[in-house]
Amino acid sequence: MSIRGVLVPVVTPFKADLSPDRDRFIRHCQWLVSQDCGLAVFGTTSEANSLSAKERKNLLDALVVAGIDPSRMMPGTGCCSIIETVDLTAHAIQHGCGGVLMLPPLYYKKVSEDGLYRYFSEVVQRVGDTRLKIYLYHIPPVAIVGITPKLVERLLKAYPSAIAGMKDSSGDWNNTKPFLDAFAKDAFDVFVGSESFLLANMRNGGAGTISATANVNPRAIHELYEKCSGVCVKRRRNQKALGTSASTPADLEALQARLNVVREVFSNKKFPSMIAALKQAIAIYTNDQEWTRVRPPLIELTTEQAKLLATELRAIGFRWQQ
Amino acid sequence: MSIRGVLVPVVTPFKADLSPDRDRFIRHCQWLVSQDCGLAVFGTTSEANSLSAKERKNLLDALVVAGIDPSRMMPGTGCCSIIETVDLTAHAIQHGCGGVLMLPPLYYKKVSEDGLYRYFSEVVQRVGDTRLKIYLYHIPPVAIVGITPKLVERLLKAYPSAIAGMKDSSGDWNNTKPFLDAFAKDAFDVFVGSESFLLANMRNGGAGTISATANVNPRAIHELYEKCSGVCVKRRRNQKALGTSASTPADLEALQARLNVVREVFSNKKFPSMIAALKQAIAIYTNDQEWTRVRPPLIELTTEQAKLLATELRAIGFRWQQ
């Protein structure tokens, strides 16, 4: 029953006055769900930390009202303040969200493992809901404060039901692997923060990926997930009569390589951020310039950068799936 | 009319349930004001980022109700979200606070100067109050995102009234000096984030210090400020008839050296944080253990560390001023 597969840290569209554009947000989420993706709304790529707590809650309410299944949602709820983290987490759990993605408190640096343990303990106890599923969010290039195996071990021991997994956005497979080795057997679900590690993750007992580029390339990423996941193996067995053949390792590696080529385009250091580049791509392919806006301190792509992005996507034969 | 002198990033006391202890907070603020210090409530030392926005507003309301002069307050109001920064800033300005101390949005790293300029511009325009006085908060060891001279230059040009100064907590005099050289002449008030740079700051046109240790050593820090500030020079001239003699450079350096000795005790790397050590010292000298609590992810001093602190303060002859 736990969330697995490809989750999208959904980009948040803004109106001219920089308020969240609820309608475009809902439409984008509906499209992502139609591509078999879950919704990790309010992540780093969502500019969640540039939103107020109230804006996050209003947007989540709007998704639920729009009829999107909350069990496929994993909203980001980690703030620096226990009070605000508990508030957002309780709100998400009350909506029936499949889980929450929780940043560590990131203001103070070089905090102790003990301090982080106490922080997450307080959150679990204050939320006090057996439905709570926390996915710890490790993103050291941004949060600086990180999640260590030792911390996971202590938390899992104390709260085996509430501590459901993690997202590793270290960008370092040597960081991800020890978590899989130590905790995957305990139903601790490890998501990689980039689809470039998806195949490796699935081969080592991982649960999927929560990746920024799934905002524009959801179907292809999900295809790799499906082809290499156990779920898919089981389904294929049932479909033997239909003549579906299992993918070979080489097939999977070819799919992985194609995903990497797309991601590479968005990772171009010439762009002010991957977030702005993703929004620009959505604007290009939906022919809707409203999508380009970001909230300060982020900035949009220049006209020249937008042209470069369009050119490079054409050059790699990128196709927008409807 | 602008705030100058010694401002205290007031530590926030917590009750057993970790809620802010309003009464102790008010009493501590009243004592600091009686020592001629201003109140930079909700700073890094205040664990402000571990508080919710609502808790900050309630505490500020309580100080005003308690009769403390808001013109001597400079609350921290900088959040990652423009919406929340504007909300807290407007609240402080409506109370008549002398200024606000504003962190840059610190979630995204390596953001452009353009993005930060847009962020602060949005805040100034949205607050839309001629009383607004922003002090930019540069604390790179914690926020990572910092304030550059070029950014100050652009903001000062666009908003000469609203951009009132800065706090430099880089801990690097070579970073502070260029700000003084470039902007002190334009009534841009530079506060150093440690009293260890107070004398140097005042000799170079600075406005004072906003320092954590002023929570426990306010009178001595203020004495150095007063003796080396222009205000003091003027006063001394008027008081010639009273026989008051001006301090010599050697007198000032001796005062500075004594302040440094006290600060050194609290900077001991054996303590989990200077914040916890300051709270422990208040607990010792007010004989009130309630003061020791910190919110996770910070942790309190161990019994052994608390003893070490007490011993070291005695060893340097530290005296708590009433």
Judge whether B37 and B2 are in contact, CB under 8 Å. Answer: no
Torsion, Cα B75 B78 B84 B89, to 10 degrees, reads 40
Q: Cα–Cα–Cα angle for A15, A18, A21, nearest 5°? A: 40
Q: Which of A189, A227, A237, A187 is nearest to A209 (CA)?
A: A189
First to last CA, chain A: 28
Model pLDDT, residue B231: 46
- Determine, for residues B111 and A297 on separate chains, whether the beta-carbon distance falls below 8 Å: yes
The span from the CA of A13 to the CA of B78, in Å, is 23
- Determine, for residues B297 and A111 on separate chains, whether the beta-carbon distance falls below 8 Å: yes
* Helix axes of A53-65 and A22-34: crossing angle, nearest 10 degrees: 60
The tens digit of pLDDT for each residue in B97-118 reads 999 999 999 999 999 999 999 9
Model pLDDT, residue A230: 58
Which among B15, B17, B47, B83 is the top mutation candidate for probing chain A, defined by the most A β-carbons within 10 Å of its own β-carbon? B83
The span from the CA of A94 to the CA of B117, in Å, is 39
Shortest Cα distance from B241 to chain A (angstroms)? 51
Model pLDDT, residue A288: 98
Q: What is the mean pLDDT of chain B?
A: 95
Model pLDDT, residue B245: 57
Shortest Cα distance from B44 to chain A (angstroms)? 8
Smallest Cβ–Cβ distance between A105 and the set B114, B121, B297 belongs to: B297
Please write down the HEC assignment for all residues of A59-79: HHHHHHHCCCCHHHECCECCC
- Determine, for residues A116 and B297 on separate chains, whether the beta-carbon distance falls below 8 Å: yes
Question: CA of B123: which chain A residue's CA is closest?
Answer: A296
One-letter amino acid identity for A294?
V
- Lowest average pLDDT, out of A101-110, A312-321, B62-71, B226-235, goes to B226-235
Dihedral (CA of B34, B40, B42, B46) sign: negative
Which of chain B's residues have a Cβ under 8 Å away from the Cβ of A122? 18, 296
Shortest Cα distance from B295 to chain A (angstroms)? 8
Calculate mean pLDDT across residues B195-209. Answer: 97
Is residue B233 predicted with pLDDT exceeding 50? no
- Determine, for residues A296 and B82 on separate chains, whether the beta-carbon distance falls below 8 Å: yes
- Determine, for residues A49 and B111 on separate chains, whether the beta-carbon distance falls below 8 Å: no
Strand order through the sheet with A38-39: A38-39, A5-8, A208-210, A189-192, A163-168, A134-138, A100-102
pLDDT-derived band of residue B230, with 50, 70 and 90 as boundaries?
A: low
B277: three-class secondary structure by DSSP: helix
Judge whether A117 and A151 are in contact, CB under 8 Å. Answer: yes
Q: Which of B125, B119, B122, B68 is nearest to B97 (CA)?
A: B68
Shortest Cα distance from B294 to chain A (angstroms)? 10
First to last CA, chain B: 28
Model pLDDT, residue A297: 98
Calculate mean pLDDT across residues B65-71. Answer: 98
- Determine, for residues A50 and B299 on separate chains, whether the beta-carbon distance falls below 8 Å: no
Model pLDDT, residue B246: 75
Which among B52, B58, B137 is the top mutation candidate for probing chain A, defined by the most A β-carbons within 10 Å of its own β-carbon? B52
**What is the value of ipTM here, to two decimals?**
0.94
Dihedral (CA of A103, A106, A111, A117) sign: negative
B85-88: long-range contacts, CB 8 A cutoff, minimum separation 24: B85/B123, B86/B122, B86/B123, B86/B126, B86/B127, B87/A52, B87/B53, B88/B53, B88/B56, B88/B57
Model pLDDT, residue A239: 52
Which of chain B's residues have a Cβ under 8 Å away from the Cβ of A55? 81, 83
Calculate mean pLDDT across residues B180-205. Answer: 97
The tens digit of pLDDT for each residue in B246-266 reads 789 999 999 999 999 999 999
- Determine, for residues A296 and B87 on separate chains, whether the beta-carbon distance falls below 8 Å: no
Which among A148, A295, A302, A305 is the top mutation candidate for probing chain B, defined by the most B β-carbons within 10 Å of its own β-carbon? A295
Question: CA of A115: which chain B residue's CA is closest?
Answer: B297
pLDDT-derived band of residue B321, with 50, 70 and 90 as boundaries?
A: confident
DSSP code for B136 = E
Alpha helix positions (H), chain A: 22-34, 53-65, 82-94, 113-127, 140-143, 149-158, 173-183, 198-203, 218-228, 230-238, 249-266, 274-285, 303-315
- Determine, for residues A297 and B81 on separate chains, whether the beta-carbon distance falls below 8 Å: no
Q: Which helix (H) or strand (E) holds B255?
A: helix B249-266
Name beta bridge partners: A209. Answer: A6, A192
Which of chain B's residues have a Cβ under 8 Å away from the Cβ of A78? none
Q: Which residues of B fall below an 8 Å CB-CB distance to A?
A: 18, 44, 49-55, 80-84, 87, 104-109, 111-112, 114-116, 118-119, 121-122, 141-142, 144-145, 272-273, 295-299
Model pLDDT, residue A322: 72
Dihedral (CA of B55, B58, B64, B65) sign: negative
Name beta bridge partners: A100. Answer: A134
Question: CA of B275: which chain A residue's CA is closest?
Answer: A108
- Residues of chain A below pLDDT 50: 231-233, 236, 240-244
The tens digit of pLDDT for each residue in B147-177 reads 999 999 999 999 999 999 999 999 999 999 9
Is residue B241 predicted with pLDDT exceeding 60? no
Q: Which of A43, A36, A46 is nearest to A6 (CA)?
A: A36
Model pLDDT, residue A245: 57
